[in-house]
A = this chain, B = another copy of it.
């Protein structure tokens, strides 16, 4: 296996995930039993089970009591786009051949529509505006606002490539969770022009706020997508917890 994960359970999960992705464990078949996986990885059953529960959460397998862990059939194109994934990470795994153009990078006040209910109004942050293109066609405009602290500045090449790679690998930040909101809105003439929208000026707007493991918010983003190119794919499990 040999992953860069420190944890035993994480590296087991990573290893099995790769074997599923590469067809070593085929959809519709069962994984080796938990006991066999214990032998295979030299670990206890609880550790194997924690690894399997990660794969269950991701939608890679379904556990069936008395039978085993069935590998689910997630076609490439239906692989979940939800979760916290950077555009560059998607670009790699989906082989989209996308390009990124940095349009702005300056300190600015966080606009009200992004700040509302998330962070103090009037607060300033490092604003980065980027245009994503696929095959020369504009697809997405990303408006990022990076909070200081914990982020003081961002080198130009990090903005052009992957902000997340810079945060995680260079700054050692522990990106943990995010809240997201998807709506459809009439956007400003500026955004409409960048995306080359028609008269309706409708775009899909994804607003998100991303947090570090210590619950510090560090990123506010509004992404404007061309509606004809937008596609959000999700895998969800029915929760046992109910409210009210």
Determine if B62 and A237 form an interchain contact, defined as CB atoms under 8 angstroms apart. no
| Shortest Cβ distance from A179 into B: residue | B235
Within the complex, the shortest CB–CB distance from A217 to chain B, in Å, comes to 11
> Nearest residue in B to A225 (C-beta to C-beta)?
B184
Tally of chain A residues near chain B (CB < 8 A): 62
Taking CB atoms and an 8 Å cut-off, the chain A residues in 77-111 that contact chain B are 77-78, 82-84, 89, 92-93
**A contact patch SS:** mixed
Contact indicator A228/B184 (Cβ below 8 Å): yes
Contact with B along A171-186 (1 / 0, CB 8 A): 0000111111111100
Report which A residues bind B (CB closer than 8 A): 5, 7, 10, 13-14, 17-18, 21, 54-55, 57-59, 62, 64, 70, 72, 74-75, 77-78, 82-84, 89, 92-93, 117, 175-184, 200, 202, 204, 211, 213-215, 227-228, 230-244
